[in-house]
């Protein structure tokens, strides 16, 4: 796309145009209809699998997208974030709105778009930039979208369809396929924006924090980590069933998502218990992974990188507190420490001790990094104990608690990393009225 | 003094072997040197002794070449993260540091005896391929200028290569500025290139041969820039290209070997027989020459094992796996059996036959780096810099 004069267009749009949520919702509805077509579906699934997702996960993701684009879902989403009067909240004019009065003064409060939002998508996930921009559109913003240097065909498709089906969106949505290290272009885009939305790892977030001038809002959707927690009371219960569900979730996402389980913290200090849980977990992982021999060169390269890590870990276990349990095309590394870190992914998990009494102190160092926790066998706990444990995990920094099968399954109206995301793309304005 | 500095022990004798590709003649000596090297490290490096113990391995178990894969293999990743030394500090004569992937580098130390063996190998291999020459030449190093105390292996290797023939001059593509930052040596390059073009036009009788040294990707970039400008040189016959390291271009794809060879011939007039590509690694500093078939042939100093990632056992010829090596070169560190992060396949000429290049030893072919993401190595990082700067310079 060529946007040589985007800067002047942008000012013009700010001055003369208004984008209402309703207009975006109906455009999304039409895109959703497109998504139901078989040839579009298969094209998008192949794009997503090229991006590294399993076919099952890609189909899953597409289904979620299709659901999300339905007008009734988007309406509910708007209602959840901005209240049942969301349409009048964003409607033009300041006459109607939520009224406040104090002595003889009267005020109206309404939601308004921030103005211009610059979205920086994560390199690791197709479609993120597109959906980030969609939230910006729903709140009436002009969206400048940086596509990863490697391209993001899914986001590009979504944007093109939206504009094709609702031409008005063309002056609210700009795609820029630029590289993150093209500092000049990045700074130019950031300078034009009211808010910079950044998805990605620490490095991407740090770079944005350093280059964005004060006064420009930064919305960070950084990398997060998720894990399972095994309370002492569940260790001897129906553990294998929970582990099977957890393994199935792991195989479904290959531990690539922020919500993917990286490993299990066990409520114990005994090395023997950890090893025992590790062996049972490995068995469950093998059920999912044993048949997954690498086929392509890319898969072999990945397998080799993991093999080098495992071999190195085995040798290091002679002088460090860790133990590697190898399975067919999967592994479990049992550590003596309680660090929270990404696993080797693709069915290579960790197990670590974390006694319930140390949950808060042990996890606080990672407070901004925690996302989902799945408590295994929570049904084995008494209600009060379960709720105490869950509150502790939330106090430590977790923002989502789910069952082992549903770590990466979302629902309509779910907050994102502990926030209602669209509210961050809008401002609450207050206007004194006569 | 340790007995391995004795020049009659198997290791120095192996590294002085006359024919660098005489595997069968030197096999018994090789095995003896490996056994001796494993024992040497086991008795001097407690951490290595524990690794052998973990796998119940003893050097006595090496009866033939088919047993070599059983020597506990150490990934270069382990060497990057952990210290594994067999000699005291005061015996360190030389240090080489790998180009860091993800910021972690391995630091490999040499004592006098390993340096001497390495030097003997370099002399034998380079002489065998006709790279040593008494004729003075000019060097164009498409890489970094060295400085006193430089420890980066690739810089040392490129510098070392400029001694294979007497140097009348050395021009470096990347020179350090006052702050120690590498910058493109724009003026130096331009001067050297215009001199070459001028000599070509005037058919000067005083032309010296040119040796181009560096990463394949840099040489490719230089050659294709000159090619675009229609420059055609016919450099004196003993000119050559010496390269080793990454094949990734600035656009992150691999360039074809044939394509590069043709380009070098067209632009510089250097025939493909005078293009020498070597493979070596900081953690395994043995020279493997790549023949025109793209085969890295195994010399007498080492054996190559391509391993199954799951079992670490050797895979059959032709099947991809992790490239690993066995060599008794090092006495400073137990690098006798190491596993790189390269994927490769093994191959060997049919019994009684030789490769099209004339060499009869087994060979490996590289398939790329292990890893899910693109690793940024020394070559790739510098290539970005070079691309930017060269674009400005012309």
The first and second tokens of residue B127, run together, are 């002489």
What does the DSSP assignment read for B194-216? HHHHHHHHHT-TTPPPEEEEE-H
- Taking CB atoms and an 8 Å cutoff, what residues of chain B touch A328? 310
Say if CB B211 and CB B242 are below 8 A apart.
Answer: yes
Of B78, B320, B372, the CB nearest to A305: B372
What does the DSSP assignment read for A208-244? HHHHSPTTSEEEEEE--EEEEEE-GGGTTSSHHHHHH
Q: Do A308 and B47 touch (CB under 8 A)?
A: no
- For residue A222, what pLDDT band results from cuts at 50, 70 and 90? confident
pLDDT for the residue numbered B38: 98
pLDDT tens string B162-186: 778 888 889 988 888 887 777 788 8
Are residue B189 and residue B73 in the same domain, yes or no? Answer: no
Query: Does residue B144 form part of some domain?
Result: yes
Report the relative pairing of strands B74-75 and A322-327 from DSSP bridges.
unpaired
Over residues A52-66, mean pLDDT: 78
Q: What residues make up the domain containing B177?
A: 121-280+376-393
Are residue B266 and residue B142 in the same domain, yes or no? Answer: yes
Residue B15 burial (CB count, 10 A): 25
Are residue B23 and residue B131 in the same domain, yes or no? Answer: no
pLDDT for the residue numbered A126: 66
Over residues A133-158, mean pLDDT: 87
Are residue B133 and residue B265 in the same domain, yes or no? Answer: yes
Q: Number of A to B CB contacts under 8 A, please give it.
A: 73
* CA A127 – CA A154 distance, rounded (Å): 5
The residue whose two tokens read 């003993």 is B238
The residue whose two tokens read 């304005």 is A429
pLDDT for the residue numbered B368: 85
Low-confidence spans in chain B with pLDDT less than 70: 1-5, 99-103, 246-254, 372-394
Q: Do B341 and A304 touch (CB under 8 A)?
A: yes
- Taking CB atoms and an 8 Å cutoff, what residues of chain A touch B50? 318-319
* CA A75 – CA A165 distance, rounded (Å): 19
Query: Does residue B112 form part of some domain?
Result: no
Does the pLDDT of residue A234 top 60, yes or no? yes
Are residue B355 and residue B382 in the same domain, yes or no? Answer: no
Are residue B132 and residue B75 in the same domain, yes or no? Answer: no
Superfamily (CATH) of domain A226-406: Aldehyde Dehydrogenase; Chain A, domain 2 (3.40.309.10)
* CA B22 – CA B36 distance, rounded (Å): 21
pLDDT for the residue numbered B328: 98
The residue whose two tokens read 């919305």 is A219
Are residue B389 and residue B363 in the same domain, yes or no? Answer: no
- % pLDDT > 70, chain A: 97
Report the relative pairing of strands B363-369 and B296-297 from DSSP bridges.
antiparallel
pLDDT for the residue numbered A284: 97
- Taking CB atoms and an 8 Å cutoff, what residues of chain A touch B283? none
Are residue B188 and residue B246 in the same domain, yes or no? Answer: yes
* CA A391 – CA A61 distance, rounded (Å): 30
Are residue B53 and residue B177 in the same domain, yes or no? Answer: no
Query: A6-223+417-433 domain in CATH 3.40.605.10?
Result: yes
Q: Which residue of B has its CA nearest to A308?
A: B75
Measured distance between the N- and C-terminal CA atoms of chain B, rounded to whole angstroms: 57
3-state secondary structure of B297: strand
pLDDT for the residue numbered B378: 38
Q: Do B371 and A302 touch (CB under 8 A)?
A: yes
Q: Do A311 and B368 touch (CB under 8 A)?
A: no
Query: Does residue B199 form part of some domain?
Result: yes
Query: Does residue B291 form part of some domain?
Result: no
Query: Does residue B288 form part of some domain?
Result: no
Query: Does residue B323 form part of some domain?
Result: yes
Of A300, A308, A345, the CB nearest to B75: A308
- For residue A177, what pLDDT band results from cuts at 50, 70 and 90? confident
- Taking CB atoms and an 8 Å cutoff, what residues of chain A touch B320? 297, 300
Over residues A155-172, mean pLDDT: 91
Q: At what angle do helices A239-253 and A55-69 cross, to 10 degrees?
A: 80
Higher pLDDT, B116 or A63: B116
* CA A257 – CA A199 distance, rounded (Å): 13
Over residues A132-140, mean pLDDT: 94
Please give, rounded to a whole number of angstroms, the shortest distance from the CA of B69 to a CA of chain A. Answer: 15
Q: At what angle do helices A153-165 and A21-35 cross, to 10 degrees?
A: 120
Over residues A63-67, mean pLDDT: 83
Query: Does residue B8 form part of some domain?
Result: yes
- % pLDDT > 90, chain A: 63
* CA A217 – CA A205 distance, rounded (Å): 13
Are residue B364 and residue B380 in the same domain, yes or no? Answer: no
- Taking CB atoms and an 8 Å cutoff, what residues of chain A touch B343? 297, 300-301, 304
pLDDT tens string A69-126: 999 999 998 999 999 999 999 999 887 778 899 989 999 999 999 999 999 986 656 6
DSSP state of A281: H
Q: Where are the domains of chain A?
A: 6-223+417-433, 226-406
pLDDT for the residue numbered B105: 82
Please give, rounded to a whole number of angstroms, the shortest distance from the CA of B314 to a CA of chain A. Answer: 14
Q: Which of A266, A285, A369 is nearest to A329 (CA)?
A: A285
Q: What is the mean pLDDT of chain A?
A: 90
pLDDT for the residue numbered B375: 34
* CA A172 – CA A116 distance, rounded (Å): 9
Q: What's the structural domain count of chain B?
A: 2
- Taking CB atoms and an 8 Å cutoff, what residues of chain A touch B71? none
CA dihedral angle for residue A93, residue A96, residue A98, residue A101, rounded to 10 degrees: 100
* CA B18 – CA B13 distance, rounded (Å): 10
pLDDT for the residue numbered B217: 83
Q: Which of A226, A228, A338 is nearest to A277 (CA)?
A: A228
The residue whose two tokens read 């025939």 is B271
pLDDT tens string A375-418: 999 998 999 999 999 999 999 999 999 999 999 888 877 888 89
Are residue B325 and residue B247 in the same domain, yes or no? Answer: no
Q: Which residues pair with B290 in a beta bridge?
A: B277, B296
């Amino acid at each position: 796309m060529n946007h040589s004069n985007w800067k002047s267009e942008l000012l013009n749009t700010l001055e003369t145009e208004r984008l209402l949520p309703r207009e975006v919702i109906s455009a999304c509805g039409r895109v959703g209809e497109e998504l139901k077509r078989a040839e579009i579906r298969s094209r998008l699934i192949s794009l997503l699998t090229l991006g590294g997702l399993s076919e099952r996960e890609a189909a899953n993701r597409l289904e979620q997208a299709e659901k999300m684009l339905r007008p009734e879902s988007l309406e509910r989403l708007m209602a959840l974030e901005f209240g049942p009067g969301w349409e009048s909240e964003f409607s033009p004019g300041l006459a109607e709105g939520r009224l406040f009065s104090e002595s003889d003064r009267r005020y109206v409060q309404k939601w308004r778009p921030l103005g211009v939002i610059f979205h920086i998508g994560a390199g690791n996930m197709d479609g993120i930039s597109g959906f980030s921009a969609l939230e910006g559109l729903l709140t009436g913003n002009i969206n400048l979208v940086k596509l990863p240097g490697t391209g993001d065909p899914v986001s590009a498709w979504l944007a093109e369809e939206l504009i094709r089906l609702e031409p008005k969106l063309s002056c609210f949505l700009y795609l820029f396929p630029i590289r993150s290290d093209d500092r000049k272009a990045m700074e130019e885009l950031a300078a034009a924006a009211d808010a910079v939305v950044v998805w990605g790892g620490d490095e991407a977030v740090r770079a944005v924090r350093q280059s964005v001038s004060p006064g420009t809002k930064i919305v960070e959707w950084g990398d997060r980590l998720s894990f399972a927690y095994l309370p002492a009371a569940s260790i001897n219960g129906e553990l294998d069933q929970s582990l099977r569900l957890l393994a199935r979730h792991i195989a479904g996402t290959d531990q690539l998502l922020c919500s993917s389980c990286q490993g299990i913290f066990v409520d114990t200090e005994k090395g023997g218990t950890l090893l025992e849980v590790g062996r049972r977990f490995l068995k469950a992982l093998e059920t999912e992974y044993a048949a997954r021999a690498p086929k392509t060169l890319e898969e072999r390269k990945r397998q080799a990188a993991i093999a080098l890590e495992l071999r190195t870990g085995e040798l290091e276990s002679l002088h460090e507190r860790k133990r590697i349990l190898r399975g067919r095309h999967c592994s479990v590394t049992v550590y003596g420490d309680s660090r929270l870190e990404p696993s080797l992914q693709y069915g290579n998990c960790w197990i670590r001790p974390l006694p319930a009494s140390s949950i808060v102190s042990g996890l606080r160092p990672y407070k901004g990094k925690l996302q989902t926790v799945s408590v295994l066998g929570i049904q084995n706990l008494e209600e009060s104990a379960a709720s105490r444990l869950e509150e502790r995990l939330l106090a430590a920094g977790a923002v989502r608690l789910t069952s082992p099968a549903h770590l990466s399954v979302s629902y309509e109206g779910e907050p994102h990393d502990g926030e209602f995301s669209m509210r961050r793309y809008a401002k609450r304005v207050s206007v004194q009225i006569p | 003094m340790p007995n391995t500095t004795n020049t009659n022990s198997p290791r120095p004798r192996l590294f002085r072997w006359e024919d660098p590709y005489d595997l069968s003649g030197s096999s018994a000596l090789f095995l003896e040197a490996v056994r001796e090297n494993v024992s040497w490290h086991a008795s001097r490096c407690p951490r290595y002794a524990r690794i052998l113990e973990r796998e119940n391995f003893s050097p006595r178990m090496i009866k033939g070449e088919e047993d070599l894969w059983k020597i506990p293999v150490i990934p270069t990743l382990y060497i990057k993260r952990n210290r594994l030394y067999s000699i005291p500090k005061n015996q360190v004569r030389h240090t080489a540091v790998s180009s860091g992937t993800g910021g972690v580098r391995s630091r490999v130390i040499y004592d006098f005896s390993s340096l001497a063996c390495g030097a003997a190998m370099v002399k034998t291999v380079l002489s065998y391929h006709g790279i040593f020459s008494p004729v003075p030449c000019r060097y164009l190093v498409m890489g970094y200028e060295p400085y006193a105390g430089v420890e980066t292996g690739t810089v040392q290797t490129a510098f070392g290569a400029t001694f294979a023939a007497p140097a009348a001059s050395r021009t470096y593509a990347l020179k350090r500025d006052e702050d120690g930052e590498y910058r493109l040596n724009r003026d130096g390059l331009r001067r050297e290139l215009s001199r070459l073009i001028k000599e070509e036009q005037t058919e000067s009788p005083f032309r010296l041969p040119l040796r181009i040294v560096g990463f394949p990707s840099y040489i490719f970039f230089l050659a294709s820039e000159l090619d675009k400008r229609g420059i055609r040189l016919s450099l004196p016959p003993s000119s050559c290209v010496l390269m080793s390291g990454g094949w990734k271009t600035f656009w992150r794809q691999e360039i074809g070997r044939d394509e590069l060879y043709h380009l070098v011939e067209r632009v510089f007039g250097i025939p493909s027989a005078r293009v020498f590509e070597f493979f070596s690694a900081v953690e395994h500093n043995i020279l493997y020459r790549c023949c025109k078939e793209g085969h890295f042939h195994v010399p007498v100093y080492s054996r190559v094992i391509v391993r199954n990632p799951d079992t670490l056992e050797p895979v059959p010829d032709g099947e991809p796996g992790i490239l690993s090596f066995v060599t008794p070169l090092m006495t400073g560190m137990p690098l006798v059996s190491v596993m790189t992060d390269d994927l490769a396949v093994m191959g060997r000429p049919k019994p009684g036959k030789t490769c099209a290049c004339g060499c009869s030893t087994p060979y490996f072919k590289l398939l790329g780096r292990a890893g899910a993401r693109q690793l940024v190595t020394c070559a790739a990082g510098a290539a970005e810099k070079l691309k930017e700067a060269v674009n400005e310079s012309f």
